[in-house]
Structure 1
């Protein structure tokens, strides 16, 4: 089986650099889709309470026969739960749905910063980690000033900040803020939902290496040290997105893709998203 590189986090744990995401995977398809990903070789699965598919992910894990210690499972705390002061209950509910005793990573999904309730949630995450219900804790969609506030109230630094990141939106200031704090950057929507597949540097690199545009972009992320989890429900694409360790982009190819930076955000802006 292909060996996926492991990234060491600031709490001493490790995470597979390449994972599999299940955002927008329907609940009734999640079990089969995750089972396919596990069969291909993925061992890092990223879900969230708001996705509504934790049960399907859990069933796939249970039926896979793969030892729990060989898997890396992430789920996320939704805004309504921490606004209601139900952070601990939310993780316990997710664990029940997943059929697990613990997750490897628990993230605050969005800061929803208007009332700074995310700061209370962060304190609760620290307690959940101390209780052993999650091995690592982190955040998602946090900007540098949100990270500053977490540092002011917390006793631990997030292990990961999961942000929208792809060639058309590289959030370099956030990446730099993460690095300066010892936080690893994890990319969601790493393929820009296909919006950059036709960009010339990506097309040229794909032709040069005999691979797909998606495989080129995944290599671009990997070679810059980021953690990512492309998502697909198509078996062929699930497999091809994992088949990215047999070629390497040149420095010039990486630089040309990096130069595609523009305001290509596909999701909400963290400062204005207050569900």
Structure 2
């Protein structure tokens, strides 16, 4: 069962191969959701300072009754923290808000502040300052593994050229129809594990007729097909849902997509309509209402 499988990061830390995303799940609602997910068998939970729900995630983990050493908790340093002092403060803030004595994986959420995401600004020095704070926190035992999110090759090269500790993870948007193959290959060549957020395209894949036809041949749903696709690419998918039924089905992916079907899936490109999630990145703007369960899977 995929919930029992782990991958090994370059620094030797074991990470569950499937996680539960919590983007756009309210802090008050996420505690119950995390507790219920843990009861199903999930052990890998992904949150972020920008999500505003670290407190609830920590509460849910404590209420689950699962031993801390059996849980894997990822959070992310807010994208605007580009100084050493602020990054240090924010790291300690996450530990306090989560109510944990350590974080399993902490990432720089974006190479640019959200208000300037992909606008061409250079934040290399700021990323190095934030990275130094993460390195110090790992060396102090506050964090077990450190990495990045939404980093492109040039952003990674900046860290790799100056870091004492290499990034263990790069978490990126990756799904059928929008898979950054060149970036994934580069990361894997550098020993960096790639996590796939929104592996079901913010729910947009669920209405894709060709994917539905293919999924039916395996007697699975479209979401299961998309998650399995990511797993077979060597990624760690992080589907998000507020539905217990979907949590269970998202973890029921013990089938194998044939080489021919994988070739078909990898050839799909472009034209993805994310609906209300098209506003990504949203973190530099006023928070919007939580998305329906289907749209974040």
Question: TM-score, structure 2 length as denominator?
Answer: 0.86
Alpha-carbon distance between aligned partners in 2 of 1:160 and 1:150, rounded to the nearest angstrom = 12
Which moved further from structure 2: 54-63 or 73-82?
A: 73-82
Change (3 A) 1:180 1:16: same
In structure 2, the partner of 1:106 is 106
Q: Label 1:274 to 1:256 Cα distance change in 2 as closer, same or farther (>3 A).
A: same
Q: For each residue in 1:221-251, what CA deviation from the matched residue of structure 2 results, as whole angstroms up to 9, or x when unmatched?
A: 1122111110001111121111222x22212
> How many Å separate the matches in 1 of 2:159 and 2:51?
25
Asked if 1:250 is matched to 2:261, the reply is no
Cα distance in structure 2, aligned partners of 1:179 and 1:115: 24
Aligned counterparts of 2:164 and 2:280: Cα–Cα separation in 1: 27
CA distance in structure 2 between the partners assigned to 1:182 and 1:81 by the alignment: 26
- Write the mapping of 1:47-126 to structure 2, written as runs, cut at 5 A: 47-83=47-83, 85-112=85-112, 114-116=122-124, 117-126=126-135
Q: SS in structure 2 opposite 1:105?
A: strand
Q: Does 1:139 align with 2:156?
A: no
Structure 1 residue 143: Cα displacement:
0.3
Contact 2:84 2:132 in 1 (8 A): no
Q: Is the 8 A contact 1:108 1:139 kept in 2?
A: yes
Kindly indicate whether the alpha-carbon contact (under 8 Å) linking 2:204 and 2:273 is maintained by their aligned counterparts in 1: no
1:1-275 → structure 2 map (5 Å cutoff): 3-83=3-83, 85-112=85-112, 114-116=122-124, 117-245=126-254, 247-262=255-270, 264=272
Judge conservation of contact 2:128–2:159 (CA < 8 Å) in 1. yes
Alpha-carbon distance between aligned partners in 1 of 2:3 and 2:92, rounded to the nearest angstrom: 32
Partner Cα separation in structure 2 for residue 268 and residue 157 of structure 1: 32
Query: Over aligned residues, Cα RMSD in angstroms?
Result: 2.1
CA-to-partner distance for each residue in 1:57-77, whole Å, 9 max, x for gaps? 111111111111100000000
Q: Deviations over 1:94-142 (max 9, x none)?
A: 1111110001101000011533211111111111110000000000000
- Kept in 2: contact 1:201–1:256 (CA 8 A): no
Alignment check: 8 A CA contact 1:201 1:257 kept:
no
- Distance verdict in 2 for CA 1:118–1:274, change over 3 Å: farther
Please list every run of 5 or more consecutive structure 2 residues that lacks an aligned counterpart in the other structure.
113-120, 286-297
Task: Write out the 4+ residue segments of structure 1 that deviate beyond 6 Å after TM superposition.
Answer: 267-270
Maintained 8 Å contact 1:2/1:41: no
CA contact (8 A) 1:205 1:249 kept: no
How many residues in Structure 1 have an aligned counterpart in Structure 2? 272
Q: Secondary structure at the match of 1:176?
A: helix
Structure 1 unaligned segments of length 5 or more: list them: none
- TM-score after normalising by structure 1: 0.92
